[in-house]
């Protein structure tokens, strides 16, 4: 038998599918399944969050307070006459039904913002207090944050953030996308952004608390109105970075006040002496 060279032209060892089609199919499957899991876990989070005991909420909040300082770019101030005033104001705004003890954290930071962390932690920055002109508007912002605490929006956000973080590390590996702690921070930052419906729920709860304390909602929305006008000011818009801004937020509140028969007119309560120093 003589050897007759014969060229093999068919490529049986290579699948005919185009790499990009293959990627699209894979991504479709993975993204679809992850989305389904994400939604399912989100629903699970919504179901579980109202049942979390206060002690657990405190444990979660206490462990994330350090990263909250980082997010607001500040260091806590211990000795400031304003702290006791803020703490008292905060306590007076709490719904009598809420049992969780509140802790106020006063941060020295150039970022204009206030935030609520699970476990009854409310954070306020010095730059934010500089923007405040009356007690009413300060009370509304604090009560708004208390509304988030009440609805446990922070815990919901943490739950989803955790799921997101897990998904990221599954796809890219713990060291895949660079420093995993950075990824974690980015994700936590985005999960601090509450949804629009969560914001309006907190708004309503906040206004309710203000009415309970002052008997009227007058001047409580002044800060918002001012921030709205000064939107070009970068420092001020930082507040809206974590509190999605919608134009009809003020209008919606006034409509709700009208419906509930809350008076939106009333005397302005001045800030105490320590602020003018």
Partner 1 sequence: MEDLIFILSPFFVIGFGYLIGAYFEKQHYESIRKRERQTLHLPVVNYGCKQPLPEAREARLVVGEVVISPDAFKTFVLALRNLVGGRVTVYETLLDRARRESLLRLKEEAIAWGATQVLNVRYETATIGNSSQQGVASLEVIVYGTAIR
CA angle 123/125/130 to nearest 5° reads 140
- Output the smallest distance, CB 25 to partner 1, in A: 10
Measured from the CB atom, the residue of 27 and 54 that comes closer to partner 1 is 27
Q: Interhelix angle for 153-172 vs 19-48, to 10°?
A: 150
Instruction: Report the sign of the C-alpha dihedral through residues 275, 154, 228, 71, in that order.
Output: positive
Give the C-alpha separation, 141 to 54, whole Å. 23
- Nearest by Cα to 33 from 155, 158, 170: 170
Measured from the CB atom, the residue of 68 and 122 that comes closer to partner 1 is 68
- Output the smallest distance, CB 30 to partner 1, in A: 5
Long-range contacts of 99-104 (CB under 8 A, 24+ apart): 99/54, 100/54, 100/57, 100/58, 100/149, 102/146
Q: Please report where in the chains the tokens 């991504």 appear, as a residue.
A: 27
Measured from the CB atom, the residue of 24 and 39 that comes closer to partner 1 is 24
Measured from the CB atom, the residue of 87 and 180 that comes closer to partner 1 is 180
* H/E stretch holding 116: strand 114-117
- Output the smallest distance, CB 42 to partner 1, in A: 20
Give the C-alpha separation, 247 to 266, whole Å. 24
Measured from the CB atom, the residue of 17 and 274 that comes closer to partner 1 is 17
- Output the smallest distance, CB 20 to partner 1, in A: 8
- Output the smallest distance, CB 158 to partner 1, in A: 19
Measured from the CB atom, the residue of 26 and 39 that comes closer to partner 1 is 26
- Output the smallest distance, CB 163 to partner 1, in A: 15
Cα end-to-end distance, the chain, whole Å: 107
Residue ranges in contact with partner 1 by CB under 8 A: 3, 5-7, 11, 13-15, 17, 19-20, 22-23, 26-27, 29-30, 33, 170-178, 182-183, 186, 189
């Amino acid at each position: 038998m003589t050897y007759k060279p014969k060229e093999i032209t068919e490529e049986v060892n290579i699948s005919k599918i185009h790499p990009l089609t293959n990627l699209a199919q894979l991504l479709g499957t993975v993204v679809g399944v992850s989305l389904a899991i994400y939604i399912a876990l989100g629903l699970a989070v919504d179901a579980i969050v109202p049942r979390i005991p206060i002690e657990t909420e405190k444990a979660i909040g206490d462990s994330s307070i350090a990263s909250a300082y980082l997010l607001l770019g500040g260091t806590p101030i211990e000795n400031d006459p304003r702290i006791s005033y803020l703490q008292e104001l905060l306590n007076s705004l709490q719904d009598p039904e809420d049992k969780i003890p509140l802790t106020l954290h006063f941060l020295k930071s150039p970022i204009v913002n206030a935030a609520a962390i699970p476990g009854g932690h409310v954070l306020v920055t010095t730059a934010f207090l500089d923007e405040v002109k009356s007690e009413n508007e300060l009370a509304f912002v604090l009560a708004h944050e208390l509304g988030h605490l009440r609805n446990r929006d922070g815990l919901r956000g943490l739950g989803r953030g955790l799921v997101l973080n897990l998904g990221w590390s599954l796809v890219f590996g713990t060291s895949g996308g660079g420093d995993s702690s950075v990824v974690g921070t980015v994700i936590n930052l985005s999960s601090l952004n509450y949804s629009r419906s969560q914001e309006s729920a907190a708004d309503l709860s906040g206004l309710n608390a203000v009415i309970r304390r002052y008997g009227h909602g007058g001047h409580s929305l002044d800060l918002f109105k001012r921030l709205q006008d000064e939107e070009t000011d970068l420092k001020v818009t930082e507040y809206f970075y974590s509190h999605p801004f919608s134009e009809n937020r003020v209008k919606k509140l006034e409509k709700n006040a009208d419906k509930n028969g809350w008076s939106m007119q009333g005397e302005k309560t001045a800030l105490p002496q320590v602020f003018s120093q």
